[in-house]
């Protein structure tokens, strides 16, 4: 699986549509491989407001955080 960088709004729409989202401080990468050690988020594990709050909480320490949509390819 791969995670492909996306915008905040595209990540929100994808999350609400049931897709899995990853957030990475490696914001300069357009994509990265998703492994068993990659933390991912979906509607079963969190809500969108909780995910956004968590990202904002860490923004000062990891200013390059970006949202990624996890894909099967």
Domain that holds residue 21: 1-33+63-73
Q: How many domains does the chain have?
A: 1
Per-residue pLDDT at 73 exceeds 80? no
Which pLDDT value is given to residue 72?
86
Residue 52 maps to a domain: no
pLDDT classification of 15: cutoffs 50, 70, 90: very high
Helices 8-16 and 48-57, axial angle in degrees (round to 10): 150
And the tokens for 60?
């000062």
Which pLDDT value is given to residue 54?
95
Question: Which distant-in-sequence residues (6+ apart) come within 8 Å of 16 by Cβ?
Answer: 43, 48
Question: What pLDDT digit, counting tens, does each position of 26-69 carry?
Answer: 878 899 999 999 999 999 999 999 999 999 999 999 999 999 99
Whether the model clears a pTM of 0.75, i.e. scores above it, the answer is yes
Spatial contact of 70 and 3, defined as CB atoms under 8 Å apart:
yes
Smallest CA-to-CA distance from 18 within 36, 45, 38 is with 45
Residue 7 maps to a domain: yes
Per-residue pLDDT at 25 exceeds 80? yes
Residue 58 maps to a domain: no
């Amino acid at each position: 699986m791969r995670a492909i960088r996306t915008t905040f709004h595209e990540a929100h729409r994808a999350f609400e549509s049931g897709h899995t989202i990853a957030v990475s401080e490696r914001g300069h990468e357009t994509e990265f491989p998703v492994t068993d050690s990659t933390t991912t988020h979906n509607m079963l594990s969190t809500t969108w407001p909780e995910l956004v709050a968590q990202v904002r909480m860490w923004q000062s320490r990891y200013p390059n955080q970006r949202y990624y949509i996890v894909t099967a390819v």
